[in-house]
Every structure is written in structure tokens, then in C-alpha cells.
Amino acid sequence: MKDKANRLKSIRKIVHEQKISSQEELLQTLEEEGFSLTQATLSRDLKQLKIAKMPDYEGGYIYVLPEESSSLGKTIRMKTQDTHFASSGFVGIDFCGPFAVVKTKPAYAGGIAAEIDRRSSKNILGTIAGDDTILVIPREGVDKRKLVRTLSEVLPIN
């Protein structure tokens, strides 16, 4: 049985080099490399490493390292700006007072919210993402028109 430090290093290497789409697939790959662990341990390791499951450009889902998530966010943004935006994960947007609520396909909210945060201007304080919903919190004094204009840099809205 290999130690935790080696296991974490292997997880990072596997996720970086391979297209892993499930914990079961990652667990099997680790077992092939000589690691013996449970799914619960793997879940804790993924959380510790801040590895997230995000939609990929082929329409599936893959695990990504934190430093790779912004490049995947760029892919999502590019898809939202072309004629195939429906496959990007964006579903719609609605407003409640000063807040925007963005609806996405399941599992897309985290990636899209990360891109909104990454590109956030002086108009957006931050986002909170669930599985298919993003709450966009504008800065004090930002009206709906300014918020829509800012979000339109990332989302296919007018």
C-alpha cells in the first residue's frame, strides 16, 4: 500500500494526463497503479486537491485540476458565443431585485460561474453556483442594465 502523498501526486498526474469522467474510472486507474483505497477516501482526496468535475468541450464531463479549470471555462465561453450555445450549458437568466439567477444544464453551473468570476468586472461582487443554477451578486449601485451588459461578455444574452 502506497502512502497518501504518493497517492495525491498520482491523482494529480492521472487527472492532468488522462480524460477521467468518473470516480469509478479514477479508482480503477489508481488500483492498477498499486493503490488500495475506498471511494470515500478518493472523494476526500479530490476535495483536498480541489479537483472538480466540469463539462468538457465534447459534451461529456471530466475531472480537472484547479489550474486547468479556467482554460476549460474559456472553452465553455467560446461555445456560448457561437451558434451552438445551446450545447454549452447555458439555459436562461432571470432577475430578482438586484440579483441575477442563471439557469444551466446540470453540472455546468460551476464552470460558467468560474468564468463569470474570472472575468468579473467592477460590476459583479461574485457568484454562488449549485449544480444547475448560479446566483450572480452585483456590486452596490449596479443596475440591471449594467449587470446584463457585463454578463453578456460570458453568456449569450442580449
For 60, phi and psi rounded to 5 degrees? Answer: -95, -160
Same domain, 87 and 123: yes
Residue found by looking up cell 461578455 in the block: 153
Same domain, 81 and 147: yes
| Mean pLDDT of the 50-75 span | 67
Residue 81 above 70 pLDDT? no
Q: Return the SS3 of 28.
A: helix
Same domain, 110 and 41: no
Same domain, 81 and 132: yes
Do the domain assignments include residue 141? yes
Q: Which residues contact 146 (CB under 8 A, 6 or more apart)?
A: 123, 138
Cell numbers given for 64? 480537472
Nearest one of 93, 90, 94 to 73, comparing CA atoms: 90
User: pLDDT above 90 covers what percent of the chain?
Assistant: 41
Tally the domains of the chain: 2
Question: Is the Cα torsion angle 14, 18, 23, 26 positive or negative in sign?
Answer: negative
**Exposure of 98 in the CB half-sphere (CA atoms within 13 A):** 11
Residue 82 above 70 pLDDT? no
pLDDT of residue 78: 42
Same domain, 83 and 33: no
pLDDT of residue 76: 42
Residue 75 above 70 pLDDT? no
Same domain, 81 and 144: yes
Structural domain range at position 19 = 4-49
**110-143 pLDDT, tens per residue?**
888 888 887 777 899 999 999 899 999 999 999 9
> The domain that contains 101 carries what CATH number?
3.30.1360.40
Q: Strand 90-96 and strand 61-64: pairing?
A: unpaired
Residue 145 above 60 pLDDT? yes
Same domain, 78 and 132: yes
Do the domain assignments include residue 104? yes
- Whether this prediction's pTM lies above 0.85 is answered by no
Same domain, 40 and 91: no
Do the domain assignments include residue 84? yes
129 residue type, one letter:
A
Same domain, 134 and 77: yes
Task: Return the minimum-mean-pLDDT range out of 9-23, 82-96, 97-111.
Answer: 82-96
Same domain, 89 and 41: no
Whether the CB-CB separation of 51 and 63 falls below 8 Å is answered with: yes
Do the domain assignments include residue 59? no
Reported confidence tier of residue 57, pLDDT bands at 50, 70, 90: low
Q: Return the axis-axis angle of helices 109-118 and 69-81, rounded to nearest 10°.
A: 90
